[in-house]
Amino acid sequence: SGLITYDPGYANTGSCSSNITFIDGEKGILRYRGYDIDELAERCNFLDVAYLLVHGFLPKKDERAAFSELMNQHSMLHEGMRHFYDLFPDHAHPMATLSAMAVTLSTFYPELESHPNEAIDIMVTRLLSKVRTIAAFTYKKMKGQPIVYPRPDLSYCENFLNMMFYTPVNGYKPDPVITRALNQLLILHADHEQNCSSSVVKSVGSSGANLYASISAGICALWGPLHGGANQQVIEMLEKIQQEDNGDITRVIDRAKDKDDPFRLMGFGHRVYKTYDPRARVAKAICHKVIDHLGFKDPLLDIAQRLEEAALADRYFKERNLYPNVDFYTGITYRAMGIPTNMFTVMFAIGRLPGWIAQWLEMRDGSEHRIYRPRQLYVGPTQRSVDVNWVK
Ligand code: CMC
């Protein structure tokens, strides 16, 4: 457009200070509240990490039990919210439904708005628990199957998988390997400092808008293909290579390098990481574990691995420090779990929720809290007058 900005995409703007997440993009380090991502993924479950992000410390045994209990208490949706599902068209993208339902929570549960200092755990568990239920109901509606209600005897991830895959005919038997893998994937998504959607959540919240409204906006930001939407795009790209190029990766690599072609290798590159994304490394290992466990021979995994190998050996990608990011291997794992492609970004949103909430709280309660209001460099016309003969 010819518009010159001081810092396009805020690539060099530090908008705040934060105690939550540390990234070293050169060394490929990611830590939540000081803990390495690999260790958290290995030793904790998703709710522990959600608690850590929001409170700053891992829960003790009794705190863990109380958090889990609150999660159960707040897992149901108001029955009135179910009617909304009947009005969305069958082809509605689940991210649009998720965002609409997230802001709708503020009409059914306005107390969060009027009591902003309500116990943090209630706020957090309400959102975490209900967003999971919304996501599973969205899937059931897409499938035309009866909705499955949350069960208090199941863990957070088991509950989600049961709400997704239980049918009266086939039932659903929790699989510990799949439940563990889901916990790990959600942990990998849980926060990533001032990324696009978190900045949006904070920008909306900075005006004093309520948490549900801020989260709903964050879900919309995450949906974009350059952000969380990339996990859906990765699978669609791999499917195209399989179907249209007979598994040959050359055309895609050539297109990604062609400056006259807007195509990008999806799941590659990152604003901050100039080396292998530490989340991608863990995601790749989880992917192999799940695929081996299920005995699911996915030809897309083979294509992905060949694509990664070719890109990492290619001068174009080397010169620009382009490596696989978190979205490269997560989609193949979600696919093996039976989650449909158009719900991959919903999974990312469920995972990112604790990070959004933690950052929203840090901003709202912090001494740096000011309304987000960047400036611009005006490069339009100088003052002029409407011509006396205009539309005469
Ligand atoms: N394929 C081909 N070329 C690429 C790619 C890619 N995936 N990513 C970056 N480049 C090139 C880009 O064309 C540019 O080249 P040149 O210097 O010759 O103009 C150079 O690398 C720098 O790219 P950029 O667009 O300035 O980098 P950015 O920091 O603005 O964008 C990004 C980061 C993640 C949006 C970008 O790498 C991208 O579009 N990747 C594909 C989409 C994707 O996988 N997104 C998920 C990101 S991780 C999870 C998340 O954030 O949700």
Question: Could you say which of 121, 227, 270, 277 is catalytic?
Answer: 270
- The predicted complex's ipTM stands at 0.98
Average pLDDT over residues 147-171: 96
**pLDDT tens readout for residues 173-207:** 999 999 999 999 999 999 999 999 999 999 999 99
Q: Tell me what the pLDDT averaged over the chain comes to.
A: 94
What spacing in Å lies between the alpha carbon of 230 and ligand 1's midpoint? 11
Nearest alpha-carbon partner for 219 in 360, 345, 386? 345
Q: What is the pLDDT of residue 6?
A: 85
The verdict on whether 327 is a catalytic residue reads yes
**pLDDT tens readout for residues 294-330:** 998 899 999 999 999 999 999 999 999 999 999 999 9
List of long-range contacts for 64-69, beta carbons under 8 Å, 24+ apart: 66/121, 67/121, 67/125, 68/155, 68/156
- Residue 1 reports pLDDT greater than 50: no
Ligand 1 binding residues, C-beta < 6 A = 9, 195, 226-228, 230, 256, 264-271, 320, 322, 325-327
How big is the CA angle at 136 (ends 134 and 139), to the nearest 5 degrees?
Answer: 110
- Residue 375 reports pLDDT greater than 80: yes
Between 365 and 103, name the one with better pLDDT.
Answer: 103
Instruction: Give CA–CA dist 59/216, Å, rounded.
Output: 27
- Residue 2 reports pLDDT greater than 60: no
Residue with CA at minimum distance from ligand 1 atom 50 = 227
